[in-house]
Amino acid sequence: MNTTVTPLLTTSGDRPDAAPALSLRDVVLEYPDGERGTLRALDRVSLDLYPGVYTAMTGPSGSGKSSLLAVAAGLISPTSGQVVVNGQDLTALPKALRTAMRGTSIGVIFQQPNLIPSLTAREQLELTVHLDRSAGRSAKRDARVRAAELLEKVDLGAAMDKRPHQLSGGQRQRVNIARALMAKPALLLVDEPTSALDQERSAAVVELLGELTREEGAATLMVTHDVEFMDAVDRTLVMVDGRLQ
């Protein structure tokens, strides 16, 4: 069932003429916290993210950034509030459908690339389609073309047939980024993509994510501590004590 929510007031990075790819409304997330009862990691967070807009989220350690990504990805259900991705209220979906959305409407990039050692760069991207028993020959052919296109976009055209151990850290992270974009997700969630990279490679990855956000039209939310790269983003959010400032 599709859900519509009233857009939030416009801020500089928003595109209110398009439907948001992600809407959070009054999202509260509480973790059990021993004898003290509960710890409130997200405190009534509301947010709209629009297609083609590159947003960075910063904030002190423990302020709730990863929790927000996990809720937006449907990995954790909030204690209360609404999480709407591409018109679908994740909180109303059974777990299996939330998981399916992570392969289609939602792309997730974590700190470590987590590639499969035995597969080439191209095969990493094609894997999901090959594991899908309902995918026919034409879906597999399309996936092969899309994988090659994306690897060209992330400047790995010449390294498509290389396996992870033959790639540098920056190249592995670029394979990871290309893989997350395979299904043309409306929402791209990125958790500290540069934590394992040096400064030069970090800047290249942050810029690349911006180019891909615009070209692919995804709404990208990147958690980062690299405040020096903020020029590359369209919008910055700051999380403090579970609240967006």
Ligand X SMILES: Nc1ncnc2c1ncn2[C@@H]1O[C@H](COP(=O)(O)OP(=O)(O)OP(=O)(O)O)[C@@H](O)[C@H]1O
User: Minimum Å distance from CB 219 to ligand X?
Assistant: 20
User: Minimum Å distance from CB 97 to ligand X?
Assistant: 23
Report the SS3 class of residue 82.
strand
User: Minimum Å distance from CB 33 to ligand X?
Assistant: 7
**What is the rounded CA–CA span in Å between residue 114 and residue 54?**
24
- Does the footprint of ligand X cover residue 38 (CB under 6 A)? no
- Does the footprint of ligand X cover residue 59 (CB under 6 A)? yes
* Choice between 61 and 134, CB closer to ligand X: 61
Q: Which of 63, 124, 202, 213 binds ligand X (CB under 6 A)?
A: 63
**What is the rounded CA–CA span in Å between residue 223 and residue 55?**
9
For the chain, the straight-line distance linking the first and the last C-alpha, in angstroms and rounded, comes to 32
- Does the footprint of ligand X cover residue 34 (CB under 6 A)? no
The residues that bridge with 56 in the sheet, in sequence order, are 222, 236
**What is the rounded CA–CA span in Å between residue 44 and residue 150?**
37
**Positions in 64-103 near ligand X (CB under 6 A):** 64-67
Structure tokens at 216: 């692919």
In degrees and rounded to multiples of 5, residue 23 shows phi and psi of -125, 125
Q: Determine the interface stretch with ligand X among 61-69, 85-93, 115-123, 203-211 (rule: CB under 6 A).
A: 61-69
**Positions in 104-133 near ligand X (CB under 6 A):** none
Give the interface with ligand X as residue ranges (CB under 6 A).
31, 39, 41, 59, 61-67
